[in-house]
A and B are shown apart, each in its own frame.
Chain A
Amino acid sequence: MKDYPWYEVVCGEDDLMQGDFIKDCPVLIPPLEISNSIEVKIINYDVVIMSQSCDLVQRKLDLVLVCPVWSLNEFEKRGDFFKSKKGKEALRQGNVPGYHLLNRCKIDGFETEYLVVDFRSVYSVPFDFIVELARKRDKRLRLLPPYREHLSQAFARFFMRVGLPVNIPPFK
């Protein structure tokens, strides 16, 4: 069977695409009120790009959608459910909306553990800013098809959920 790698390494100057990982991406959190002089909070995340590649390549976006990425190890420490085999399995099978598991990367110099993408914390970063940041960060990891489309589909599934105010009671 043909080998279908999960990741590849691309250069900093390469066009940004969906599934590109950017390390230490700063996100500005504005204060509650805007005046002439404000204090903003800046938070850094390792992120994966969620915007569609065609929109990015054709520069049809002013803002690029990114989601934070965590190693499964870090994630487990914050969520007891994911310490269990059951929790990890649920994550692997795509049964935990809001989170998506990605495989380990074994590329030399870019090794990662299993990664968890957090769809609940979506940020938008100005296009020019993230292009410049990617260039400065130099080589970066890129998620490859069909895993990239799988990630995008999981995001869509999470986003399109409908919570019913009154559900049909379960059948006993």
Chain B
Amino acid sequence: MYQLTMQDIAYQDYPIQYFSSSSAALEEINIMDVRDNLLSIWMRKRPKELFYHSLIPLLEIDLSSIRPHFEIKNETSLSEGMLEMAVSEDMLEFDIVVRMPPKKEWSARLKVKSVEKATPHIVDPEGL
């Protein structure tokens, strides 16, 4: 059976599937398969490690005892740089007013026919 190798697959998150065959004997496993297998595991693990590394500054870690202590730092212990990162400029609002002139403007003289007191226009709510 043709087996997939790392050279066949470009996606790093797509694990290589190894097929277990009943006829597979120890002598059939070659060094290329072992290398591809290790490489595949390493590529899957690496992004996770980076992700956890990025969380380390947010934690208070005490490894001095046999029971390591991990705790999320409170906001006062977060560095100023991290706060600046959290409150980026993207979150600021700009309350700006631009007065645009109309596309066209003219006046007309009208004769007022009547002036009436308005009455409410009640719309029946649906489903009641």
Q: Which residues of A contact B (CB under 8 A)?
A: 24, 27, 34-46, 60, 62, 68, 70, 74-75, 78-79, 81-82, 87, 90, 93, 95-99, 118, 120-121
Q: List, in ascending order, chain B residues with CB within 8 A of A60's CB.
A: 123
Could you list some 14 contacts between A and B, CB below 8 A? A35-B112, A39-B107, A41-B105, A43-B103, A44-B104, A45-B102, A45-B103, A68-B100, A68-B102, A75-B98, A87-B94, A95-B90, A95-B94, A98-B96
- Number of chain B residues close to chain A: CB under 8 A: 25
B99-128: which have CB < 8 Å to A?
Answer: 99-100, 102-112, 115, 121, 123
Q: Is the CB of B99 within 8 A of A78?
A: yes
Q: Would you call B86 an interface residue if the criterion is a C-beta within 8 Å of the partner chain's C-beta atoms?
A: no
Pick from B92, B106, B109, B121: contact of A95, CB under 8 Å: B92
Q: Would you call B93 an interface residue if the criterion is a C-beta within 8 Å of the partner chain's C-beta atoms?
A: yes
Pick from A39, A118, A120: contact of B110, CB under 8 Å: A39
Q: Is the CB of B121 within 8 A of A62?
A: yes
Q: Is the CB of A44 within 8 A of B94?
A: no
Q: List, in ascending order, chain B residues with CB within 8 A of A82's CB.
A: 98
Q: Is the CB of B105 within 8 A of A44?
A: yes
Q: A93 to B88, alpha carbons, bound, how many Å?
A: 13
- Given A90-B92, A96-B94, A118-B98, 14 extra CB contacts under 8 A: A35-B112, A37-B112, A40-B107, A40-B110, A43-B103, A43-B105, A45-B103, A70-B100, A78-B100, A79-B98, A81-B94, A81-B96, A95-B91, A121-B100
- Distance in angstroms from B84 CB to nearest chain A CB is 13
How many A-B residue pairs have C-beta atoms within 8 angstroms? Tell me.
80
Q: Which residues of B contact A (CB under 8 A)?
A: 90-100, 102-112, 115, 121, 123
Q: A82 to B97, alpha carbons, bound, how many Å?
A: 11
Q: List, in ascending order, chain B residues with CB within 8 A of A43's CB.
A: 102-105
Q: List, in ascending order, chain A residues with CB within 8 A of B94's CB.
A: 81, 87, 90, 95-96
In this complex, what residue of A is CB-closest to B93?
A95
